[in-house]
């Protein structure tokens, strides 16, 4: 019985893992495969140090990529075992992954992998997520609450969240490092990274999404004019602390939440501007009424006109994120 997938299977899975969302599409990850184990590394050169001063968002992004890899391998007929932070002398080495052939590939495995390609960040206003009360227990059953706790905030929390969002923008007003990164990484792409202009929204649309990060605006006719305001559910994922282990695992849960919401037909948008600064993070924490610390918020809702026709945001070529250290291919199962 072979215990390692072929190089070709690894390439396909790492390609899907590379579709993971990341702060400003910075894609701070790289992988190596030695013929039996796959290793995930953080790329500190891709840390947005003025925006993500704690480095938590880099780890969240890498955690999403790690879970996307798990999903991609499950669809290819492999279960994975993950050793997180296996080398105390190199904390950029986030995980070593080994493989066992799966007994079965379910439709659910294939659907989740397919959802990776459909998921995208939608910054337009959403209607309240239809059928949420049936979906929420299903969603909660898909992850381990010791990895991250989930709260759902509704319209009654909106004024406080909008206030936290506004306060963040004010606190950042004269933060030239933050604005330099924002303008470098958004509104265009450079070498297949960054947020393209087509993924941004107009100033008028921004006013209807009162909790969104203030990004550079695009131009064009108003989209979703039937939604005069955003009525998304706002999901908050929190952890006991901010250790690297906790944040990486929270990123893995974030991946699960985004993919399950995509499978259920909801539009999603991660939000982190209100968890970057201590004052706004404290407001979000108070809204959850928890002792845990919020790591990320996710707007989830129903989109009357899905953005399916918009081209997917670009990603780095596989050759930049995957390196074969050992035999390039094995004769293992695909």
Ligand X SMILES: Cc1cc2nc3c(=O)[nH]c(=O)nc-3n(C[C@H](O)[C@H](O)[C@H](O)COP(=O)(O)O)c2cc1C
22 makes contact with ligand X (CB under 6 A): yes
Shortest approach of ligand X to residue 72 CB, angstroms?
A: 15
The three-class DSSP label of residue 100 is strand
Angle, helices 244-263/132-140, rounded to nearest 10 degrees = 140
Instruction: State how far the Cα of 45 lies from the Cα of 90, in Å rounded to an integer.
Output: 15
- Residue nearest to ligand X as judged by C-beta position: 21
Interacting residues with ligand X between 107 and 146 (CB under 6 A): 120-121, 123
- Mask for 193-232, x = binds ligand X (CB under 6 A): --x---x-------------x-------------------
Helices first, then strands: H and E counts in the chain: 11, 9
Tokens 């107009």 correspond to 202
- Mask for 44-73, x = binds ligand X (CB under 6 A): -------------x--xx--x---------
Tokens 């908050």 correspond to 236
Shortest approach of ligand X to residue 324 CB, angstroms?
A: 26
275 makes contact with ligand X (CB under 6 A): no
Shortest approach of ligand X to residue 330 CB, angstroms?
A: 31
Q: Are residues 86 and 34 in contact, defined by beta-carbon separation less than 8 angstroms?
A: no
Shortest approach of ligand X to residue 21 CB, angstroms?
A: 3
Shortest approach of ligand X to residue 33 CB, angstroms?
A: 24
Per the structure block, which two tokens stand in for 6?
């072929």
Instruction: State how far the Cα of 233 lies from the Cα of 321, in Å rounded to an integer.
Output: 34
Shortest approach of ligand X to residue 133 CB, angstroms?
A: 27
Residue range at the interface with ligand X (CB under 6 A); choices 20-28, 126-134, 158-166, 220-228? 20-28
Among residues 5 and 21, whose Cβ is nearest to ligand X? 21
Q: What residues does 186 pair with on adjacent strands?
A: 195
Nearest by Cα to 261 from 118, 154, 148, 164: 118
Among residues 46 and 213, whose Cβ is nearest to ligand X? 213
Number of residues this chain uses to bind ligand X (CB under 6 A):
22
Beta strands in the chain (DSSP E): 29-33, 38-42, 78-84, 93-101, 149-153, 233-239, 267-271, 293-301, 322-324
**Cα 274–Cα 279–Cα 281 angle in degrees, nearest 5:** 40
Among residues 24 and 208, whose Cβ is nearest to ligand X? 24
Per the structure block, which two tokens stand in for 62?
């890498």
- Mask for 254-273, x = binds ligand X (CB under 6 A): ---------------xxxxx
Residues at the interface with ligand X (CB under 6 A): 21-25, 57, 60-61, 64, 120-121, 123, 195, 199, 213, 269-273, 296, 313
């Amino acid at each position: 019985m072979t215990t390692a997938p072929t190089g070709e299977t690894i390439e396909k899975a790492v390609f899907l893992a590379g579709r993971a969302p990341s702060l400003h599409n910075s894609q701070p990850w790289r992988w190596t495969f030695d013929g039996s184990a796959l290793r995930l590394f953080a790329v500190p050169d891709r840390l947005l140090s003025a925006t993500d001063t704690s480095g938590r968002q880099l780890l969240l992004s890498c955690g999403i990529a790690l879970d996307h890899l798990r999903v991609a391998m499950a669809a290819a007929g492999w279960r994975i075992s993950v050793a997180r932070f296996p080398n105390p002398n190199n904390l950029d080495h986030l995980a070593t992954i080994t493989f066992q052939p799966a007994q079965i590939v379910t439709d659910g495995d294939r659907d989740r992998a397919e959802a990776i390609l459909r998921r995208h960040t939608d910054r337009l206003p959403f209607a309240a997520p239809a059928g949420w009360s049936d979906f929420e227990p299903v969603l909660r059953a898909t992850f381990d609450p010791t990895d991250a706790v989930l709260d759902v905030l509704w319209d009654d929390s909106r004024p406080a969240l909008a206030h936290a969002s506004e306060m963040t923008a004010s606190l950042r007003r004269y933060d030239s490092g933050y604005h330099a990164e924002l303008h470098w990484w958004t509104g265009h792409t450079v070498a297949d990274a960054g947020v393209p202009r087509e993924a941004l929204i107009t100033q008028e649309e921004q006013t209807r999404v009162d909790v969104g990060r203030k990004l550079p605006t695009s131009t064009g006719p108003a989209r979703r004019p039937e939604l005069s305001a955003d009525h998304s559910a706002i999901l908050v994922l929190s952890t006991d602390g901010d250790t690297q282990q906790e944040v990486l695992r929270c990123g893995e849960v974030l991946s699960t939440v985004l993919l399950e919401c995509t499978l259920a037909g909801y539009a999603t948008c991660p939000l982190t501007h209100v968890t970057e600064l201590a004052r706004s993070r404290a407001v979000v924490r108070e809204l959850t009424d928890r002792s845990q610390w919020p790591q990320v918020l996710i707007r989830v809702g129903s989109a009357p006109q899905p953005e399916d026709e918009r081209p997917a945001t670009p990603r780095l070529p596989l050759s930049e994120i995957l390196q074969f250290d050992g035999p390039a291919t094995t004769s293992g199962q695909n």
